[in-house]
Structure 1
Amino acid sequence: MADLTNLTEQEQANLDLAKEYMRIAYTPGEASADAVAHLCAPGNKFVGPTTFPGTETLEQYADVHGELMTKLDDLHFVSFDVEFVKDDRVALRYTAQGTHKGAPHGDIQPTGRQATWTACALFRAENGKLTEFVKEWNKLPMWEQLGWPIEECLTYND
């Protein structure tokens, strides 16, 4: 992990901001647009077409991620594997885990199967607010572990 002991005050504030967003967006029952709105700049942008196609803002991401967590109602971070901060940029690579024991996934009733996966969240902050979130996540391993239809992971549109 990168040395985070020599961060500027602003870099530490940006790291704290990104991690607070992630904490809320990854807390079952808490994740929602309203819950993260105070952390997000007007006109912010979410980029992650393979993650949740059609999601364009950080607030929308919190909403759709909250919906996912109705299915994986014990979803949690296992670890932050890499944390990197430079100026207005924050990168977090993390491992998460959850069990399909909540709501059905489409026609699939809760399976009780657990999945562990990794993803990367790249943030940009400006004036104490998040302006951009780029998410890199190959959800195929998660879907396979849960027994969900892998066709749902094929989101490329020509």
Structure 2
Amino acid sequence: MTEQEEKNILVVKEYMQISYDPERSSSKNVAHLVASDNKFIAPTTFPDIHNCQAYADEHGKLMKSINDLRITEINYLIAKDDQVALRYSAEGSHCGQPYEGIQATGRKAKWTAAALFKLNHEGKITLFIKEWDKLSMWKQLGFPLEEATKVPSI
């Protein structure tokens, strides 16, 4: 692994640590890790979010509802040139604030997600693509499945 690939992994890990910390998940706290023209793509899970800062803000809102949400394991972490890919397992309980009008169910869920990142020559994130097992999570939490199965317009 090259020195730049190792640095890219550290940037991605820091971004994920901030995004999964209910006290720090915000656009302000990830701004130093992302390029100004970055893109976020997650059409089936966060269709209205288009950059990494907005994702951190939105994930912070989610964590107010699933207030014990955490990554339990990084299953795979691979870097090649300017790209980093990771797959991880997470869990959490809907014991916090209502989520999009859904009162706390008290139910716990476990799910997996994959994240693909691209970084520029300065080591800033330019692209983050996220795939997440939202349907499984929603089922376990007792959320309305219509929301999890909406097909976004492309």
Aligning the two structures, in what range does the TM-score lie when normalised by the shorter sequence? over 0.9
Find the partner of 1:63 among 57, 64, 89: 57
Gaps of 5+ in 2: none
Tell me which residue corresponds to 2:109.
115
CA RMSD of aligned residues (A): 1.0
- Cα distance in structure 1, aligned partners of 2:126 and 2:87: 19
Structure 1 runs (4+) deviating above 4 angstroms are: none
- Cα distance in structure 2, aligned partners of 1:87 and 1:93: 18
1:1-80 equivalence runs, <5 A: 7-80=1-74
Q: Is the 8 A contact 1:49 1:155 kept in 2?
A: no
TM-score w.r.t. the length of structure 1 is 0.93
Shift of 1:105: 2.2
Tell me which residue corresponds to 1:148.
143
AA aligned to 1:142 is M
Q: Is the 8 A contact 2:64 2:97 kept in 1?
A: yes
- Cα distance in structure 1, aligned partners of 2:152 and 2:57: 23
- Specify the SS of the correspondent of 2:64: coil
Tell me which residue corresponds to 1:133.
128
Gaps of 5+ in 1: 1-6
Identity %: 51
Shift of 1:157: 3.6
AA aligned to 1:11 is E
Q: Deviations over 1:25-71 (max 9, x none)?
A: 01112101111011000100001111111100000100111110010
- Cα distance in structure 2, aligned partners of 1:43 and 1:106: 29
